[in-house]
Amino acid sequence: MIAPVELSQASLAKIQAARQVITPGYDRTLTRVGIVHFGVGGFHRSHQAMYLDQLLSLGRDRDWGVCGVGLLPADRARAGALRRQDCLYTLLAKQDDGTPEARIIGSLAECLYAPDEPQKVMARLTAPTTRIVSLTITEGGYNVDQATGAFDTSDAGVTSDAANPTTPQTVFGYVVEALGLRRAAGVAPFTVLSCDNLPGNGNVARTAFAGFADMRDPGLAAWIRASVAFPNSMVDRITPATTPDHAAEVRERFGVDDRCPVVCEPFTQWVIEENFPRGRPSWERAGVQMVPDVHPYELMKLRLLNVSHQALAYPGYLCGYRRADEAVRDQLFERFLLGYMEYEAGPTLPPVPGIDLSWYRHSVIRRFANSALGDTIARLCADTSDRIPKWMVPVVRHNLQSGGEVRRSATVIAAWARYALGVDEQGRHISVIDKRSHLTKALARESLAQPLAFIECPALFGTLAQETAFAAAYTDALMSFRQSGVRATLERITADLPAPSSFGQPAGS
């Protein structure tokens, strides 16, 4: 074991000399903040910050360092930990055989916790040098009603910020107040770049921030709609939650004492709509795809990878699996996922430039099977009410309209309803993590007597329960879960439906 060194700017030279760790190959003192990012969690640090670090290592884009901003209570400890190590952290990309590549990321120039230092955050947002504000605030963080598509004005934080614009609490309050101040000062607006897993995430962001602005100043709202760019983007990199074991591994294997490392898979992809009126980093030099239309790429990723995570998660957890790689290595689950991707998600996708979808489907299975990540099924099951309605329900509606298959999708949603009861098939308690858990648990209990109760919730499913073909497939799966169990149900369904044409094809071929 190498004697550990506490990560800091001062220790980088020692780390580089004695350890197998890639360190920033650039002078960080020359980096200036050009991006303010809300939500400095694991995904931002494994993905967007990594791409910028690569550009800085090429000697480029020194004006595009990141100021990370946290708003939630859990962000205070992370911001403090990052600041104690000069905003450096270790990114550990793990191959399936466990071989890791350790890289210390230096593109974070500053980390702020907004509730403790609101003036500093606002100063960064209003500075003319800030030309992009980016976001990873989760799928549900945009406060857009899933049924109406409108901004929800009833949230307590939102109503407080609308009434007290100079003392914001939410991301909407900070961003809109900063845009208003820039407008008044004659400073051009920054571009708002969503990096969350949402169809048309830039469009959703525009709806959210302009919708909030409507609450306080319709004139400002109109200016935001007309003058602020909201490019769409697609982001992809599996990034499990960091655990104490990850910090221990970085310390013991690489001799770096890091309070907040990040573990991820080797694969990474970022596709961004070319819409940056005030300039942007030269992302394409780091492998980012800059395109005129993100839509085909985002549908591919959301409907194949993200929904497959959901299709694996609920039945897998109920059957007793706790890790994604263990579940997907079970051929029953592999067959189920490949069938869903080929016969239900696939027909809803437009052609994707440069992508062979058969290869992509198998790459999804291969990535899920990466045992070195230790990705938990509990992580995949969290926040379902923000995911299934946005990611899977559109697949169902498309197939119902076209006469396509919906049975696998119905089975996944039935598995969610069974999972929401809060107990697996072995009788073990399930901790359901979802901001609507009270609602989904109540609906799941009601469905014990009334099978359609769960999908009759318009806030989650709209009018889906009224679609006869879907309701029948959903009820069949739900009742089969109760009478025969999840595994027997999946075995029957995968036997009754066509096998995927590529089943058994070597992963990655």
What pLDDT band is residue 503 in, cutting at 50, 70 and 90?
low
- Let me know: does 486 contact 315? Beta carbons within 8 Å: yes
Q: pLDDT at position 509, please? A: 36
Residue type, 441: K
Q: pLDDT at position 49, please? A: 98
Token look-up 């942007």 returns: 280
The predicted model gives 162-189 an average pLDDT of: 97
Nearest to 16 by CA among 80, 90, 66: 90
Q: Which residue has the higher pLDDT, 60 or 137?
A: 137
With the CA atoms of 455, 483, 329 and 405 taken in that order, what torsion angle do they form, in degrees rounded to the nearest 10? Answer: -50
CA distance linking residue 318 with residue 322, whole number of Å: 9
Residue 497 neighbours by CB under 8 Å, 6+ apart: 339, 343, 405, 407, 408
Whole-angstrom CA distances from 159 to 4, 150, 153, 168, 450 are: 48, 15, 7, 10, 37
The residue length of the chain stands at: 509
Same fold, 26-84+108-232+267-291 and 295-496: no
Average pLDDT of the chain is 95
Q: Where are the domains of the chain?
A: 26-84+108-232+267-291, 295-496
- For residue 132, pLDDT over 80 is answered with yes
- For residue 413, pLDDT over 50 is answered with yes
**Looking at the DSSP assignment, which residues form a beta bridge with residue 38?**
69, 135
The predicted model gives 381-391 an average pLDDT of: 94
pLDDT tens, residue by residue, 325-384: 999 999 999 999 999 999 999 999 999 999 999 999 999 999 999 999 999 999 999 999
CA distance linking residue 210 with residue 228, whole number of Å: 10
The predicted model gives 27-49 an average pLDDT of: 97
- DSSP state letter for 62: T
- For residue 131, pLDDT over 60 is answered with yes
Looking at CATH, the fold of the domain delimited by 26-84+108-232+267-291 is given as Rossmann fold (3.40.50)
pTM to 2 decimal places: 0.93
Residue type, 339: G
pLDDT tens, residue by residue, 64-78: 999 999 999 999 999
pLDDT tens, residue by residue, 301-337: 999 999 999 999 999 999 999 999 999 999 999 999 9
- For residue 504, pLDDT over 60 is answered with no
Does domain 295-496 fall into CATH 1.10.1040.10? yes
- For residue 507, pLDDT over 70 is answered with no
Token look-up 């008044």 returns: 184
pLDDT tens, residue by residue, 93-125: 999 888 899 999 999 999 999 999 999 999 999
Q: How many CB atoms lie within 10 A of CB 93?
A: 21
Identify how many contiguous H helices and E strands the chain contains and give both numbers. Answer: 23, 14
Percent of the chain at pLDDT > 70 equals 98
Q: pLDDT at position 505, please? A: 53
What pLDDT band is residue 17 in, cutting at 50, 70 and 90?
confident
The predicted model gives 395-408 an average pLDDT of: 97
The predicted model gives 241-250 an average pLDDT of: 94
- For residue 46, pLDDT over 60 is answered with yes
- For residue 143, pLDDT over 70 is answered with yes
Q: pLDDT at position 506, please? A: 41
What pLDDT band is residue 162 in, cutting at 50, 70 and 90?
very high
- For residue 502, pLDDT over 70 is answered with no
pLDDT tens, residue by residue, 289-305: 999 999 999 999 999 99
Q: pLDDT at position 147, please? A: 77
